[in-house]
Amino acid sequence: MTDNLFTTLHVNDLTIDVPTGLLVGGQWKAGSSHESFDVLDAATGSPITSVHSATEKDAAEAMDIAVKTQEEWGNTAPRERAEILRRIFDLIMENDEKLAALQSLELGRALPDSRGEVTYGGEYFRWFSERAVSDTGEYRVAPGGRGRIVTIKQPVGPALAITPWNFPLAMIARKLAPALASGCVMIAKPAQLTPLTMLFLAQLTKEAGLPDGVFQVLPTKSAKNISVLLDDDRLRKFTFTGSTEVGQMLASKAAEKTIRTSLELGGNAPFVVLNDADVDLAVEAAVTSKMRGGGQVCIASNRFIVHEDVADRFERGVVEKLGEFVLGPGTDEKTTQGPMVSAEQRDKVAGMVEKAIEEGAKVALGGPEAAAKLTETHPDLDPNGFWYPATVLTDVEPEFEIAQREIFGPVLAVQRVSSDEEALRVANDTIWGLAGYVCGTDMKNTMRFAERMEAGMIGVNRGIISDAAAPFGGMKQSGVGREGGFEGIDEYQETKYLALDI
């Protein structure tokens, strides 16, 4: 690869200039090794472009710059930080179609879902622009009457963010926006599969007037080149979204330096349909929660736990709805279900479906036979793309592998139960607790059920729960801390107590 630092991509009728280098100290540059990696079009398996790969040396340079920049940015007036955040939001909205097309190109996701993410991700910058000027400390009389207790909020310090491939804008937005609002500088590593969206966003932050060195981006083909920063005593905050196994390993490393850590890890979300549910509404919510992003979403419903009284209607409904999805390249306006992000991800999902069938599940839609015939039934699809059909499995039991592991694909697996108590037991019988869903018309009973579900976020009679103004995060082995909402900025702040003797 040459040292070209930008590429021009043509998607539909859009021309998109995208950085392909490292953003270090406000400058786009090649990695010190001059190595690169390809970013693939999930619909064809062909390279879109190549991106420069950061080394440990580049990470060390970025950390030196972050430390030098932290004090000045931390002392910047809250109003100034807020205005920069608002300008970033405005630029995201001005470039919404480019950002959506870019995500659909590198991720494969259908354009309607990518447009939804642009709106959602951009909202974090608007939300935290408002939080930047409204977050205050406290002055109060000590209980003994003589002293005064004063607390102030200060930025934690330099932060490292590692983000996943499935939401290339929103995942960095809900980390970067509160960090900037609180006065923290940040180094970020985008996912190797989908780095282009973050690089484009980084260019927008420069255009918005974010000072050099406040936000630095280090794409790399070796995550260890960036996670080595966890050994640096000057790093004060680590935020990670990804698999439970990797997150726990990195958090253990961060704990050796007592680095403030927030984690959003794996999920195994239950979608519970109670016997008094509005089945049509439950079907709509189920399909929405499962098929957004082709099922490649951390809060996607994974285990559909349906009361036997309504199970037949529910299964017929989801088969009909999923059968309406149009499979094709994510950048095609007609597409409602794009390819999987990679061959590895497609093969993992295919293997889980095959194992479920071996264990006794029945195929109501899609499955291995439909997957094998995709090039016949969909002759317009590139055979080198990472395709998998929308699939519905019935007769699934709680002990099946597909009910025990996160699917991360367009597969809806239905389990039947005979009571609310059985549904709750099955829903909570997992080490994960990120998201959950429940549908019922008796709101007193439904809300009590939701309160007893062991998950950090619960959708009640709805399939979409994400909102920049709401706290996002899980319990059990699904994570630590919250992003978004009023709580999100706390992850990047220290509370300092000043004792006054008055």
Q: Of 64, 6, 49, 9, which Cα lies nearest the Cα of 30? A: 6
Contact assessment for residue 239 and residue 175, using Cβ atoms and an 8 Å cutoff = yes
What residue spans of 48-169 are helical by DSSP H?
A: 56-74, 78-94, 96-107, 111-131
Q: Under the phi-then-psi rule, with left for phi > 0, alpha for psi from -120 to 50, and beta for the rest, what region is 367?
A: left
Q: Which residues of 364-373 are buried (b: 16+ CB within 10 A; e: fewer)?
A: bbbbeebbee
For the question of residue 264 being annotated catalytic, the response is yes
The three-state secondary structure class of 476 is strand
Question: Given 61, 123, 264, 483, which residue is catalytic?
Answer: 264
Contact assessment for residue 276 and residue 462, using Cβ atoms and an 8 Å cutoff = no
Q: How far, in Å, are 162, 193, 245 from residue 248 at the CA level? A: 13, 21, 5
Q: How far, in Å, are 20, 50, 197 from residue 17 at the CA level? A: 10, 14, 11
The C-alpha atoms of residue 457 and residue 156 are separated, in whole angstroms, by: 26
Q: Of 222, 268, 261, 225, which Cα lies nearest the Cα of 241? A: 261
Dihedral sign (CA 301, 307, 308, 313): negative
Following DSSP, what letter does each residue of 461-475 receive, concatenated? S-S----TTS-B--E
Residues 6+ apart with CB under 8 A from 347: none
Q: Is 497 exposed, middle or buried (0-12, 13-18, 19+ CB in 10 A)?
A: exposed
The C-alpha atoms of residue 212 and residue 196 are separated, in whole angstroms, by: 20
**Residue 371 corresponds to which tokens in the numbers above?**
């997957």
Contact assessment for residue 366 and residue 337, using Cβ atoms and an 8 Å cutoff = no
Q: Is 380 exposed, middle or buried (0-12, 13-18, 19+ CB in 10 A)?
A: exposed
Partners of 337 in the beta sheet? 327
Active site residues: 264
